[in-house]
Structure 1
């Protein structure tokens, strides 16, 4: 009787597990998304249910970072000096004190018009309104990308499930952060460039409230010749700055510039926590590199990403592939980026999911989607910074797509001109 033969191991079988990721089929992805949505929702419900008078089980105020924005609004109403660090600390601690902790406020004066209305409400009503308004705007931008992505998304789940399942969404909610607003402005603006250039420019101009995430935008827009978008973005940014200046005084700009050095020192000293950050700079600092080497690594990555996106944009038309690559590269070109800022990745991930997968693309998408859930715990407990690698891989596959589609468009244009 013949013995059953064992399946022969093919060379590269283990690598194919990631290269093709055939195991990650539509059914499994659908199940994973529903499971993540339920887990994230349950986590949020548990956090709220176990809080006592707005303070969670670990002694942190619900919304944590939002205290800074709300305090700024209260100070503006009272005519206080928002950029006076000592005054801001005192104003925060007048409402809540936790082991002398302080949530810094380093946003430019153009963000002040967004903070001012918050000061008319109590902390928790303002937090709820902030999350509902910015979250709804972000979800609207996500649904527009879902609806207008050229190819069909291979997994059919409601947009609300995608929203709830995406790990950075929970991080943004628990921190009360600006990430929904900034990501929505950049994502919707990038989507509308060809269809509604003036609206796109207005949105991108408003995104200057967090300017470090828009560094690639002017490169792409200039090299693709989107001059109406550039003009609208400049007008929008200047109008927002003028509103802030007229409403709160020109002196705030000098005060903000003066505390920028303090922000730099806080980052160098790890006041925010390198484990919470997702940049190459933070990864190097977490691994024990000196600050000079960490900044050199960040500069190398930033220049590499900017140069690559410039080459992909050179003498080519703006399109969704280039928009996706631009948004995926945004978190890589700034040293100051945190895990909640990864909500911006929803837009390039949606676009990539609708294209049909080439080698490594499915793995890159899956890693970028789930990595924010594990990035902070791994960095804090094991000093393993996984997020920069996930971002680089995602940017690389999207850049390849953008360059390929641009070449296809150029060939098509040439053929049409010859006929």
Structure 2
């Protein structure tokens, strides 16, 4: 008697590309392309300008140089920032202005002890590695690593020499610490005072969730950090910093700070030739809606991924002064939602939204630069929708896990 084997897929079918493997190949190609692009541009910039790109970082280095020279207030003068950077090479690309609070000036002060190229490489490598390490805490699966390394936000941030991996690491560390170490979470949030408009929604979120230990720790950390920086640089730095904020507002309104690199609704409307007044009104309305969404979700939802998605997306909907390189932050909710969905299942349409958000940092830059279209507000609003859907299902089922 012949026994027929059970239905088994042919060996060739078993070895065929499945969805994960095909995606991993695509992510690997993108990762290699990103590496090549960064190295190629760094080499060309070094040969042509005497510095390996990362022109935003030159602002950090020039400010630290002025601080080390004993003139920290000079960091808030754009001409003096350009003068300090211009000493590196005769044809160097001059950097933008310094608008950061004294807290961040204190943090970058040691950068002047190194040459600008070495400081740039070290700053980008350390902050990027820290962000990837924390994302791996959320997504430890081996097959996901290439997606993390290929995340366009990492490479846009590295190419511009910006601090989004540092601030993104602080916000993810805060989220991961909230349940078991609420005071430590508050410390991480307080350290976000180096870029305060990115922390603006935390007081609302923490108050609505009743996380008063974290709230208090964040407030104390921010106050002590600010007091320390003012103590080091002197009280005169406060009005100089506030005047710089006024200048920044004028620069973003007039387009001196480029709208095509900006992620806000205000910039998208200005790109579409909407007048300043209506653009500010629209930005304000969006900010109020985003704040209400965060308040409702943090009061009613309990799961970390839902709260994090709402807060990160809404943060990008508050300020007109928010840039595409800051979209490194999107890696935080993307990782948390993906980790939950890989265990419990995806909601309908969720993978498409997260895929677009994953591509957004560089995609948004290219669409705005070449076509004058700012898609950031749509991406952030879509993530708010994802958070609201999961929060409502959580409330309906009485569980933090959401099954497809």
TM-score by length of 2: 0.87
Q: Matches of 2:396 and 2:233 in 1, distance apart?
A: 49
Q: Matches of 1:135 and 1:258 in 2, distance apart?
A: 32
Q: Matches of 1:368 and 1:117 in 2, distance apart?
A: 35
Q: 1:50 aligns with which of 40, 44, 47?
A: 44
Q: Matches of 1:353 and 1:25 in 2, distance apart?
A: 15
Q: Matches of 2:112 and 2:64 in 1, distance apart?
A: 4
Q: Give the CA deviation at 1:315.
A: 5.6
Aligned to 2:31: 37
- Closer, same or farther: CA 311–248 of 1 in aligned 2, 3 Å: same
Task: Tell me, yes or no, if the aligned pair for 1:168 and 1:342 is still in contact at 8 Å.
Answer: yes
Aligned to 1:204: 189
Aligned to 2:236: 251
Q: Matches of 2:255 and 2:152 in 1, distance apart?
A: 24
Q: Give the CA deviation at 1:183.
A: 0.8
Aligned to 1:72: 63
Count of aligned positions: 379
Q: Matches of 2:98 and 2:334 in 1, distance apart?
A: 31
Q: Give the CA deviation at 1:143.
A: 1.6
Q: Matches of 1:79 and 1:407 in 2, distance apart?
A: 60
- Closer, same or farther: CA 88–24 of 1 in aligned 2, 3 Å: farther
- Closer, same or farther: CA 285–224 of 1 in aligned 2, 3 Å: same
Aligned to 1:373: 362
Q: 2:378 aligns with which of 353, 373, 389?
A: 389
TM-score by length of 1: 0.84
Aligned to 1:107: 100
Alignment deviations for residues 63-119 of structure 1 (CA, whole Å, 9 cap, x no partner): 100111101111111111222333333222233565984411000111112111001
Question: Which segment is superposed worse, 323-332 or 282-291?
Answer: 323-332
Task: Tell me, yes or no, if the aligned pair for 1:321 and 1:405 is still in contact at 8 Å.
Answer: no
Alignment deviations for residues 363-410 of structure 1 (CA, whole Å, 9 cap, x no partner): 101111112222222212211222221221122112221343245448
Aligned to 1:179: 164
Alignment deviations for residues 288-310 of structure 1 (CA, whole Å, 9 cap, x no partner): 10011111111111111111111
Task: Tell me, yes or no, if the aligned pair for 2:317 and 2:377 is still in contact at 8 Å.
Answer: yes
Q: Matches of 2:32 and 2:124 in 1, distance apart?
A: 19
Q: Matches of 2:316 and 2:174 in 1, distance apart?
A: 17
Task: Please give the residue correspondences for 1:5-404 in structure 2 after superposition, counting only pairs within 5 Å.
Answer: 25-53=19-47, 55=49, 62-80=53-71, 81=73, 82-96=75-89, 101-147=94-140, 156-157=142-143, 159=145, 161-314=146-299, 317=302, 319-354=304-339, 355=341, 356-404=345-393
The runs of at least 4 aligned residues of structure 1 exceeding 6 Å deviation read: none
- Closer, same or farther: CA 245–204 of 1 in aligned 2, 3 Å: same
Task: Tell me, yes or no, if the aligned pair for 2:297 and 2:310 is still in contact at 8 Å.
Answer: no
Task: Tell me, yes or no, if the aligned pair for 2:186 and 2:214 is still in contact at 8 Å.
Answer: yes
Alignment partner of 1:275: what SS? helix
- Closer, same or farther: CA 277–89 of 1 in aligned 2, 3 Å: same
Alignment deviations for residues 169-198 of structure 1 (CA, whole Å, 9 cap, x no partner): 111111110111111101211221112111
- More RCO (CA 8 Å, sep 6+): 1
Task: Tell me, yes or no, if the aligned pair for 2:77 and 2:98 is still in contact at 8 Å.
Answer: no
The structure where helix makes up a greater share of residues is 2
CA RMSD across the alignment: 2.4
Q: Matches of 1:390 and 1:366 in 2, distance apart?
A: 10
Q: Give the CA deviation at 1:61.
A: 5.6
- Closer, same or farther: CA 330–202 of 1 in aligned 2, 3 Å: same
Q: Matches of 2:80 and 2:44 in 1, distance apart?
A: 32
Alignment partner of 2:76: what SS? coil
Question: Which segment is superposed worse, 72-81 or 351-360?
Answer: 351-360
Task: Tell me, yes or no, if the aligned pair for 2:309 and 2:383 is still in contact at 8 Å.
Answer: no
Task: Tell me, yes or no, if the aligned pair for 2:191 and 2:225 is still in contact at 8 Å.
Answer: yes
Q: Give the CA deviation at 1:255.
A: 0.8
Task: Tell me, yes or no, if the aligned pair for 2:297 and 2:391 is still in contact at 8 Å.
Answer: yes
Aligned to 1:11: none
Q: Which stretches in structure 2 are left out of the alignment for 5+ residues?
A: 1-16
